[in-house]
C-alpha cells in the first residue's frame, strides 16, 4: 500500500475522514472545490485542483453528493478523466443511483478506465477508523486493482456483483431501511414527548428491547437536541435522505415494486427540506412532527 497513490476528490463529511485514514498506509492527495475544506482537511498533499490531485494517481476516490457532481468531477472544467492513464481506477464511494453509475461506467470504459462502484455506509467516525460497510459492483479487473484500498477502508467488504450499478443497487436497499428507520425513530420519540414521557428514559428503555434499532440508538440522542438553538451536530444532512429515498422510489418503480413505507418516509424528509432543514442533521426530521422536540420532563 505504501506505493499506492490515491486521489480523494471531495473532502466533506465522509471524504475527509476516509482520506485521513488512507493516508496512514498509502500516499494520499486530496482536493475539494471549497477552499475551507482543503485547508481544514488535515491531509498532506492537498492539491489546488482536481486534476493536480489525480495526475499520476493509481486510484481516484470520489466522495461526491450526487450524479451531477460525479459528472463534473470526471468531465467538467477541472474533470480528471483528461489526466488519468489507461488502467487507472475510479473508485466511487457515493450513492448516486443505478442508472447514473452504469452510464458513467460505459463512458470510462471507452477511455480505458476502470470503475469500481463501491458506495459506503457507516458515517464519518467509522470512516476515520476504516470501519465502513462497503458494497461493491465491479468486474474482475477493477475489483483486483481496487481491493487493497477497499480493504483499508472497510471492516465489512462485500462484492455483490460483477457490474457497475450492482453496488448502487445494494446501497439503495440499505438506504430504504435507513430512511425508514430514521423516520420511525422520529415518530416514536415524538409520540413519547406528546404523551408526556421523559424522552431520554424512553430512548433508553426502547433500546433495551425488541424495538431497538441502530438508527434509534444513533439518531435518538440527536433528535433530543433537535429543538436546541442550532440543532444537533450535523453528521448526515437531511437532504441526503431526500436524494436517497428518491433513488429508492426510482429503482422500485423501474422494478415494478411498490414501496409504500419508503414513500411515506420520503414525504417526511421532503417536508423537512421544505421547512428549511436541508442542511441540518437528518435527526432534525423529528421537528416536522414535534417542532419543539427535545428533552421533556414527565407529565405531572
Domain contains 115: yes
Domain contains 179: yes
Domain shared by 190 and 231, yes or no? yes
> Residue 3's pLDDT is what?
83
CATH of the domain at 178: 1.10.1040.10
What does the pLDDT average to over 138-158? 97
* Alpha-helical segments (H) within 111-237: 124-128, 140-153, 166-194, 199-206, 214-223
Domain shared by 132 and 13, yes or no? yes
Cα 82 from Cα 201, distance rounded (Å):
56
> Residue 14's pLDDT is what?
94
Mean pLDDT, all residues of the chain = 94
Which of 122-126, 170-174, 227-231 is most confident?
170-174
Which of 31-45, 86-100, 211-225, 228-242 is predicted with the least confidence, judged by mean pLDDT? Answer: 31-45
Looking at residue 85, the DSSP 8-state letter turns out to be P
Question: Could you tell me the residue range of the domain that residue 260 belongs to?
Answer: 169-289
> Residue 2's pLDDT is what?
65
pLDDT class for 66, splitting at 50, 70, 90?
Answer: very high
> Residue 292's pLDDT is what?
75
> Residue 117's pLDDT is what?
98
pLDDT, tens digit (0-9, with 9 covering 90-100), for 5-63 = 999 999 998 999 999 999 999 999 999 999 888 876 667 678 889 999 999 999 999 99
Domain shared by 215 and 247, yes or no? yes
Q: Cell numbers 428507520 correspond to what residue?
A: 181
User: Active site residue: 29, 159, 171, 280, which one?
Assistant: 171
Domain count, the chain: 2
- Tell me, yes or no, if 171 is annotated catalytic: yes
pLDDT, tens digit (0-9, with 9 covering 90-100), for 190-211 = 999 999 999 999 999 999 999 9
Cα 108 from Cα 292, distance rounded (Å):
49
List the beta bridge partners of residue 174. none
What does the pLDDT average to over 127-132? 96
Domain shared by 272 and 145, yes or no? no
Domain contains 278: yes
Q: Which of 163, 185, 209 is the last residue of a domain?
A: 163
Q: Is 70 exceeded by the pLDDT of residue 249?
A: yes
Are the C-beta atoms of 261 and 249 separated by less than 8 Å? no
Domain shared by 152 and 243, yes or no? no
Residue 10: left (phi > 0), alpha (psi -120 to 50), or beta?
left
Q: Which of 129, 163, 197 is the last residue of a domain?
A: 163
Query: CA dist 294 to 90, 145, 212, Å?
Result: 43, 48, 20
Domain contains 294: no
> Residue 297's pLDDT is what?
46
Domain shared by 147 and 217, yes or no? no
What does the pLDDT average to over 108-133? 96
CATH of the domain at 20: 3.40.50.720
pLDDT class for 294, splitting at 50, 70, 90?
Answer: low
Q: Is 70 exceeded by the pLDDT of residue 122?
A: yes
Domain shared by 192 and 145, yes or no? no
What does the pLDDT average to over 90-100? 97
All three cell numbers of 170, joined, read: 445494494
> Residue 293's pLDDT is what?
76
Domain contains 295: no
Q: Which of 128, 163, 198 is the last residue of a domain?
A: 163
Domain contains 277: yes
Domain shared by 179 and 156, yes or no? no
Domain shared by 102 and 20, yes or no? yes
Query: What b/e string do you get for 242-258 counting C-beta neighbours within 10 Å, with b at 16 or more?
Result: bbbbebbbebbeeeeee
What does the pLDDT average to over 173-201? 97
> Residue 46's pLDDT is what?
80
Domain shared by 214 and 67, yes or no? no
Domain contains 209: yes
> Residue 215's pLDDT is what?
97
Domain contains 296: no
Q: Cell numbers 404523551 correspond to what residue?
A: 195
Cα 249 from Cα 41, distance rounded (Å):
35
Domain shared by 174 and 158, yes or no? no
Cα 58 from Cα 2, distance rounded (Å):
12
Beta strands at 59-62 and 5-9: parallel, antiparallel or unpaired: parallel
pTM: 0.91
pLDDT, tens digit (0-9, with 9 covering 90-100), for 273-287 = 999 999 999 999 999
Cα 294 from Cα 219, distance rounded (Å):
12
Domain shared by 215 and 266, yes or no? yes
Query: What b/e string do you get for 54-83 counting C-beta neighbours within 10 Å, with b at 16 or more?
Result: bbebbbbbbbbbbbebbbbbbbeebbbbeb
Q: What percent of the chain has pLDDT over 70?
A: 96
Amino acid at each position: 500500500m505504501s506505493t499506492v497513490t490515491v486521489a480523494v476528490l471531495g473532502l466533506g463529511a465522509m471524504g475527509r475522514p476516509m482520506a485521513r485514514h488512507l493516508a496512514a498506509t498509502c500516499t494520499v492527495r486530496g482536493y475539494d472545490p471549497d477552499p475551507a475544506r482543503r485547508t481544514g482537511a488535515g491531509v498532506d498533499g492537498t492539491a489546488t485542483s482536481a486534476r493536480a490531485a489525480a495526475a499520476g494517481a493509481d486510484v481516484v476516490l470520489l466522495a461526491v453528493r450526487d450524479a451531477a457532481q460525479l459528472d463534473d468531477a470526471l468531465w467538467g472544467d477541472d474533470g480528471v478523466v483528461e489526466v488519468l492513464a489507461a488502467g487507472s481506477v475510479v473508485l466511487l464511494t457515493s450513492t448516486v443511483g443505478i442508472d447514473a453509475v452504469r452510464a458513467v461506467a460505459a463512458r470510462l470504459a471507452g477511455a480505458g478506465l476502470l470503475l469500481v462502484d463501491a458506495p459506503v455506509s457507516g458515517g464519518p467516525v467509522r470512516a476515520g477508523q476504516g470501519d465502513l460497510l462497503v458494497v461493491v459492483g465491479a468486474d474482475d479487473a477493477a475489483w483486483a486493482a481496487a481491493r487493497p484500498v477497499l480493504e483499508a477502508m472497510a471492516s465489512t467488504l462485500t462484492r455483490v456483483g460483477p457490474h457497475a450499478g450492482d453496488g448502487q443497487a445494494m446501497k439503495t436497499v440499505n438506504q430504504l431501511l435507513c430512511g425508514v428507520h430514521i423516520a420511525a425513530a422520529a415518530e416514536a420519540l415524538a409520540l413519547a414527548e406528546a404523551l408526556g414521557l421523559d424522552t431520554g428514559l424512553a430512548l433508553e428503555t426502547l433500546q433495551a428491547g425488541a424495538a431497538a434499532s441502530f438508527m434509534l440508538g444513533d439518531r435518538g440522542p440527536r433528535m433530543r437536541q433537535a429543538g436546541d438553538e442550532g440543532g444537533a451536530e450535523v453528521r448526515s444532512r437531511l437532504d441526503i435522505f431526500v436524494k436517497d429515498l428518491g433513488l429508492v422510489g426510482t429503482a422500485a418503480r423501474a422494478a415494478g415494486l411498490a414501496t409504500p413505507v419508503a414513500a411515506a418516509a420520503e414525504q417526511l424528509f421532503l417536508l423537512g427540506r421544505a421547512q428549511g432543514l436541508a442542511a441540518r442533521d437528518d435527526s432534525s426530521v423529528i421537528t416536522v412532527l414535534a417542532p419543539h422536540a427535545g428533552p421533556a420532563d414527565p407529565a405531572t
